[in-house]
Structure 1
Amino acid sequence: MSHPLPDSTANAASIPASPKLVSRLPQIGSTIFSQMSALAQAHGAVNLGQGFPDFACDPALPEAVHAAMLEQHNQYPPMPGVPMLRAAVAHKIRALYGHSFDSESEITITAGATQAILTALLAVVHPGDEVVVLEPCYDSYLPNIELAGGAAVRVPLTPGDFRPDFARIAAAITPRTRALIINTPHNPSATVWSEAEMLALSDLLRGTDILLISDEVYEHMVFDGASHQSVARFPDLLSRSFIVSSFGKTYHVTGWKIAYVAAPAALMHEFRKVHQYNVFSVNTPMQFGLARYMTDPEPYLALPSFYQAKRDRFRAGLANSRFKLLPSEGSYFQCVDYGDISPLNDREFCEWLTRECGVAAIPMSAFYAQGSALPIIRFCFAKRDQTLDSAISRLRSL
Structure 2
Amino acid sequence: MTEEKFKPARRVAGQRQDVWSIINEAAAATPKQPVETNCDDIAFIGTELTVYIGYNPPQFVLDAAKQALDRVECNQYSPTKGRPRLKKAIADAYSPFFGRELNPETEVTITTGANEGMLSAFMAFIEPGDEVIIFEPFFDQYLSNIEMPGGVIRYVPMSPPKDGAERTSSAANWTIDWDVLESSFNEKTKMIVINTPHNPVGKVFSKEELQRIGDLCLKHNVLILSDEVYDRLYYVPFTRIATLSEELAKQTMVVGSGGKCFAATGWRVGWLCGPPELIKYVSAAHTRICYSSVSPLQESVAIGFEQADKVGYWDHSVKEMQGKIKRFCEVFDELGIPYSDPEGGYFVLANFAKVKVPDDYQFPDHVVNRPRDFKMAWFMIMELGIAAIPPTEFYTDQNTHIAEDWIRFAVCKNDDVLEDAKDRLRGLKTYMT
1:176 is matched with which residue?
188
Q: Is the 8 A contact 2:191 2:224 kept in 1?
A: yes
1:190 to 199, 202, 215: 202
2:327 is matched with which residue?
313
Secondary structure at the counterpart of residue 132 of structure 2 = strand
One-letter amino acid of the structure 1 residue matched with residue 52 of structure 2:
F
Q: Is the 8 A contact 2:97 2:243 kept in 1?
A: no
1:122 is matched with which residue?
123
Secondary structure at the counterpart of residue 297 of structure 2 = helix
Deviation sequence 1:126-158 (CA, Å, 0-9, x none): 111111111110101111111010110111113
Deviation sequence 1:73-130 (CA, Å, 0-9, x none): 2111111001111000011111244343210011011111111111101110111111
1:348 is matched with which residue?
375
> How is 1:38-57 mapped onto 2 (pairs within 5 angstroms)?
38-43=25-30, 44=34, 45-57=45-57
Q: Which moved more, 1:17-26 or 1:251-260?
A: 17-26
Deviation sequence 1:182-226 (CA, Å, 0-9, x none): 101111111110111111112222232211111101111111xx2
State the Cα distance separating 1:285 from its structure 2 match.
1.1
State the Cα distance separating 1:22 from its structure 2 match.
4.1
One-letter amino acid of the structure 2 residue matched with residue 229 of structure 1:
T
Q: Identify if the C-alpha distance between structure 1 residues 181 and 253 changes in structure 2 by more than 3 Å, giving closer, same or farther.
A: same
State the Cα distance separating 1:62 from its structure 2 match.
2.2
2:15 to 28, 47, 63: 28
Q: Is the 8 A contact 1:37 1:47 kept in 2?
A: no
Q: Identify if the C-alpha distance between structure 1 residues 162 and 99 changes in structure 2 by more than 3 Å, giving closer, same or farther.
A: farther
Q: Identify if the C-alpha distance between structure 1 residues 306 and 29 changes in structure 2 by more than 3 Å, giving closer, same or farther.
A: same
2:240 is matched with which residue?
230
Structure 1 CA distance for aligned equivalents of residues 95 and 156 of structure 2:
32
One-letter amino acid of the structure 2 residue matched with residue 111 of structure 1:
T
Structure 1 CA distance for aligned equivalents of residues 417 and 69 of structure 2:
34
State the Cα distance separating 1:305 from its structure 2 match.
1.3
Matched, 1:217 2:229: yes
Q: Which moved more, 1:55-64 or 1:101-110?
A: 55-64
2:291 is matched with which residue?
280
Q: Identify if the C-alpha distance between structure 1 residues 17 and 198 changes in structure 2 by more than 3 Å, giving closer, same or farther.
A: closer
Q: Is the 8 A contact 1:322 1:338 kept in 2?
A: no
Q: Identify if the C-alpha distance between structure 1 residues 30 and 96 changes in structure 2 by more than 3 Å, giving closer, same or farther.
A: farther
Structure 2 CA distance for aligned equivalents of residues 151 and 384 of structure 1:
41
Structure 1 CA distance for aligned equivalents of residues 300 and 238 of structure 2:
26
Secondary structure at the counterpart of residue 207 of structure 1 = helix
1:7 is matched with which residue?
none
1:262 is matched with which residue?
273
Structure 2 CA distance for aligned equivalents of residues 379 and 150 of structure 1:
31
User: Which stretches of structure 1, 4 residues or longer, exceed 4 Å deviation after superposition?
Assistant: none
> How is 1:146-157 mapped onto 2 (pairs within 5 angstroms)?
146-157=147-158
State the Cα distance separating 1:377 from its structure 2 match.
0.8
Unaligned segments of structure 2, at least 5 residues: 35-44, 162-172, 358-370, 429-433
State the Cα distance separating 1:330 from its structure 2 match.
1.1
Structure 1 CA distance for aligned equivalents of residues 208 and 320 of structure 2:
27
Deviation sequence 1:284-342 (CA, Å, 0-9, x none): 11111221222122323432212111111111232111422122111100001111112
1:372 to 400, 404, 413: 400
Structure 1 CA distance for aligned equivalents of residues 221 and 138 of structure 2:
23
Matched, 1:65 2:65: yes
Q: Is the 8 A contact 2:199 2:345 kept in 1?
A: yes
Secondary structure at the counterpart of residue 5 of structure 2 = coil
1:339 is matched with which residue?
353
1:325 is matched with which residue?
339
Deviation sequence 1:365-396 (CA, Å, 0-9, x none): 11013161231110000000000000011112
Structure 2 CA distance for aligned equivalents of residues 114 and 90 of structure 1:
20
> How is 1:233-248 mapped onto 2 (pairs within 5 angstroms)?
233-235=243-245, 236-248=247-259
One-letter amino acid of the structure 2 residue matched with residue 66 of structure 1:
K
1:252 is matched with which residue?
263
